[in-house]
Amino acid sequence: MERKLSEQSRALLGLNLGSFTYLDSQDAVLHDIQLEVRPGTLTVISGHSGSGKSTLGAILAGLLPRHGMDELAGTIQVGETQIEFSSSSAPRVDVAQWANHVGLLPQDAGHYLSGIRGTVAEELAFSLENAGVPRELMHQRIAELAHRLHLGKLLERHPQQLSGGQERLVALAALAMSEPEVLVLDEPLAGLDEQAKTVVSEMINLLRANGTALVVLVDSVGIWARDATELWQLSQGTLHSISTEELLQPSGQPARRRPVDADARVLLNMDTVQLSYPGSTEPVVRNLHLQVRAGECLGLAGANGSGKTTVLKAIAGLIKPSSGTLNMSGEAGLLLQNSFDQLFERTVLREVSFGIPKKSGLRLRVPHVLAQLGLESFAQTHPYELPASARRLVALATVMIHEPQILLLDEPTEALDEAGEAKLRETIAAVLERGGAVILSTHDERFMERVAHRVHLMK
Amino acid sequence: MPRTIKLHPFTILAIAVAAITMTTAASLWWLSCTVIALCLLIAGWAGHLKKLAVLNGAMLLPTFLSLLLIHGLIARDPSPAIAHWGPLRVTVHGLEVALSLGLRTAVLVVVGLLCGLLIDKHQLLAAIDLSPVPPQLGYLLAATLFLLPQMAEKQRRIGEAQTLRNMGTGTGLAGWFQRMRLRAVPLVLASMQDAQDRAVHLSARGFPATGTRTRLRTVPDSSAQRGIRWAAVICAFLGPVLILVLARMGSH
């Protein structure tokens, strides 16, 4: 992992992009972009959902353009090699060779994991195994990385039993394991708890100190501003330079929450509740006491894997408590952490109407709910074709159409851009205004502070 | 808690193939019954007896019934009938044929299922990766072995999300069919999308390997096991030939 910082002058990755157009699309998604990535630098590229960040990340990682499908005009330089793309010549890229120089952590970190290995340790070693690295060396490198990232306890776990945050951490570790010169990280801190964020930040500093260059793709620059070598905003398909001073200005309105009436009706009461998954020997949650009143927004905080999602699923009726009592007044609606799990239909309109009888009055509310969440223009679009933020809002619309008395949100800000987050805040306020309650689990402390009346820490 | 068997997956497979081919060639009811009983004993020791019994029941019961129907009830052989109801007649020869074919099938099913329960799929994959077979075989096996569990997990998540929207909550056979209908399309779409999203990162991580590959996982092996494997492979191929030759010589 040791690289010489004296190589500062040499660009590890250079992009001179005239235009990039997806197959079957008339308009270029990206155009006129020049970017150079040098050893040990941190390049932060911000942009709202759908601005083309993930596309840019995939181009830098050699995953786009797809041979014979998409069209890229421009040049990409990786190490000593320069590759020219034009409408008449589109060389086929060896993705595995490219990944030795530039590695990409996708927005959905789970996609980076192979899904065919039985333990986290094997998942970390996957690239090394395919490269034929001797077993002793793999053990040594895994032990070193696990020590640095505090992953020791996870090494023997099955990768499919990890929480969302743990999965991201493991994917990042697996990416770093093959030691590419440039790491492109798409929303690397999304869904991570404070400890994991600190670990990832420490790891990023360590990688930079060793000469690895990082390109971070984020919705808002936030905490990255202070350490970034270069700050860019991606909008209207091209990069615009932005200054640190501009970003460090305090922004956003202070929290304005209506206080909860002391005599407000109790909507949810959980008393000494214990929750376990079928087949598991240990309960995930023990002795839980929770009470939520009408007009109240409760935040659930805690480390990755502490049982926040399990509690939300129990309130939604997906898991039955193995002991204790859970009393609820009215219906609960749950927004799941992964939007893909919640979308089944071929258009947004059909998606929000899914499960509602044709003669039900709720059908008439569909256009209203879509308008409230700013989705009316996507009514006939396939949910899978939407930008991540809009897709998250569609999943929220499928919950809101039923007007739940208790709105349950699992990591709701994940994948949401600023406009989407504003819509989410409006939705929460509307639920509280009509005498409902909101329970949300999030690692986004800023959002939690803005919307939650109180926070319950899960241990 | 099921026990794990610390044998190389190829050793288990080689013994299983030898047992199946030799039992099928011998076609002796007592040998088939002994092999099945031995399998049940091993399954009981490993803690898989219930699972093996249920799976076997689901596969063998229809097989036995169909064999009985073909050879035992509606067969036109001229041997004397021990019972008859109109056009249906049960003959001794028909019952013998049905039982003999049924037992041979039972050995194949019981041994095959026991292998599936005893062999850890990650160990099997590692064993294939560490063997000199082409890497494409490991890839094919991985895709086959892990597709079903992944689809089952995806199907569970889709089910949860549909339950949240009060869909697919019916009970009984009608409820089961409704759930299948509602989950089928999203399951296929989500699996295709997932495969597409994952494939590109698998390629970036060098999978399937084109050159020398190694595995972090160790697969226990020994010279004794290698000897057993060779012996089992020889028995699997030469055993049936020998049995058939001896049977022919005995009949003359």
Domain ranges across chain A: 5-248, 266-457
Residue type, B135: P
Examine the pLDDT at A306 and tell me if it is beyond 80.
Answer: yes
Give me the interface pTM, i.e. the ipTM. 0.77
B157 Cβ under 8 Å from any chain A Cβ: yes
Examine the pLDDT at B232 and tell me if it is beyond 90.
Answer: yes
Examine the pLDDT at A244 and tell me if it is beyond 80.
Answer: no
What digits encode the pLDDT tens for the residues A8-44? 557 889 999 999 998 877 888 999 999 999 999 999 9
DSSP helix, strand, coil percent of chain A (3-state; round to 5): 35, 25, 40
Rounded Cα gap, residues A80 and B184, in angstroms: 49
Rounded Cα gap, residues A212 and A4, in angstroms: 10
**Closest CB to B205 among A62, A130, A343:** A130
Residue type, B211: G
Rounded Cα gap, residues A417 and A386, in angstroms: 13
pLDDT at position A4: 46
SS3 A78: strand
> Would you call B190 and A106 a contact, using CB atoms and an 8 Å cutoff?
no
Rounded Cα gap, residues A216 and A211, in angstroms: 16
pLDDT at position A6: 47
pLDDT at position B98: 85
Tokens 């235009």 appear where?
Answer: A19
pLDDT at position A5: 47
What digits encode the pLDDT tens for the residues A195-228? 778 878 888 888 888 889 999 998 878 778 888 8
- Phi then psi for residue A408, to 5 deg, are -110, 125
The more confidently predicted of residues B169 and A448 is A448
**Closest CB to A111 among B158, B161, B197:** B197
Among A157-171, A364-378, B105-119, which stretch is predicted with the lowest mean pLDDT? Answer: A157-171
What digits encode the pLDDT tens for the residues B126-165? 999 888 887 778 778 887 888 888 888 888 888 988 888 8
Examine the pLDDT at A1 and tell me if it is beyond 60.
Answer: no
CA distances from B179 to A338, A366, B101, B147, B167 (A): 21, 24, 38, 20, 8
pLDDT at position A255: 59
SS3 A373: coil
Helices within A46-119 (DSSP H only): 53-60, 95-99
- Six token digits for residue A49: 């959902």
Tell me the average pLDDT across A268-276: 92
What digits encode the pLDDT tens for the residues B3-37? 777 899 999 999 999 999 999 999 898 999 999 99
- Six token digits for residue B23: 């039992």
A323 contact partners, CB below 8 Å, separation of at least 6: A272, A273, A274
pLDDT at position A252: 53
Closest chain B C-alpha to A456 CA, distance in angstroms: 24
Rounded Cα gap, residues A402 and A362, in angstroms: 7
Closest chain B C-alpha to A57 CA, distance in angstroms: 13
**Closest CB to A129 among B122, B200, B214:** B214
What DSSP state is assigned to residue A406? E
- Phi then psi for residue A415, to 5 deg, are 75, 0
Query: From its phi and psi, is residue A112 left (phi > 0), alpha (psi between -120 and 50) or beta?
Result: alpha
Tell me the average pLDDT across A165-169: 83
> Would you call A132 and B185 a contact, using CB atoms and an 8 Å cutoff?
no
- Phi then psi for residue A82, to 5 deg, are -115, 130
Cα torsion for B136, B139, B145, B149, to the nearest 10°?
-160
A125 Cβ under 8 Å from any chain B Cβ: yes
Q: Which residues of B touch A118 (CB under 8 A)?
A: 120, 122, 217
pLDDT at position A57: 94
Tell me the average pLDDT across B53-77: 83
Q: Which one of B164, B187, B218 would you mutate to disrupt binding with A, by most A Cβ within 10 Å of its Cβ? A: B164
Rounded Cα gap, residues B124 and B114, in angstroms: 14
> Would you call A111 and B216 a contact, using CB atoms and an 8 Å cutoff?
no
Residue type, A250: P
B239 contact partners, CB below 8 Å, separation of at least 6: B18, B21, B22, B25
- Note whether B50 and B61 are within 8 A (CB): no
- Phi then psi for residue B212, to 5 deg, are -70, 135
**Closest CB to B216 among A62, A135, A355:** A135
* Domain ranges (residues) in chain B: 9-119+221-251, 134-204
Helices B29-46/B92-118 angle, 10° precision? 30
Examine the pLDDT at B49 and tell me if it is beyond 50.
Answer: yes
Residues 374-433, chain A, touching B (beta carbon < 8 A):
384, 398-399, 402
Tell the CATH topology of A5-248: Rossmann fold (3.40.50)
Rounded Cα gap, residues A444 and B93, in angstroms: 76
SS3 A186: strand
SS3 A309: helix
Rounded Cα gap, residues A400 and A370, in angstroms: 10
Tokens 């081919």 appear where?
Answer: B21
Name the pLDDT band for A249 (thresholds 50, 70, 90).
Answer: low
Residues 43-72, chain B, touching A (beta carbon < 8 A):
none
pLDDT at position A281: 72
Name the pLDDT band for B192 (thresholds 50, 70, 90).
Answer: confident
Rounded Cα gap, residues A426 and A134, in angstroms: 55
Among A126-140, A323-337, A338-352, B98-112, which stretch is predicted with the lowest mean pLDDT? Answer: A338-352
Q: Which residues of A touch B198 (CB under 8 A)?
A: 111, 114-115
Among A170-184, A246-260, A375-389, which stretch is predicted with the lowest mean pLDDT? Answer: A246-260
pLDDT at position A251: 53
Q: Which of A20-34, A337-351, B76-90, B109-123 has the highest mean pLDDT?
A: B109-123
Average pLDDT of chain B to the nearest whole number: 87
Q: Which residues of A touch B218 (CB under 8 A)?
A: 135
User: Is A266-457 the same fold as A5-248?
Assistant: yes
Tell the CATH topology of A266-457: Rossmann fold (3.40.50)
Per the confidence metrics, is the pTM higher than 0.80?
no
Tell me the average pLDDT across A46-53: 85
Examine the pLDDT at A247 and tell me if it is beyond 60.
Answer: no
What digits encode the pLDDT tens for the residues A433-448? 999 999 999 888 888 9
B77 Cβ under 8 Å from any chain A Cβ: no
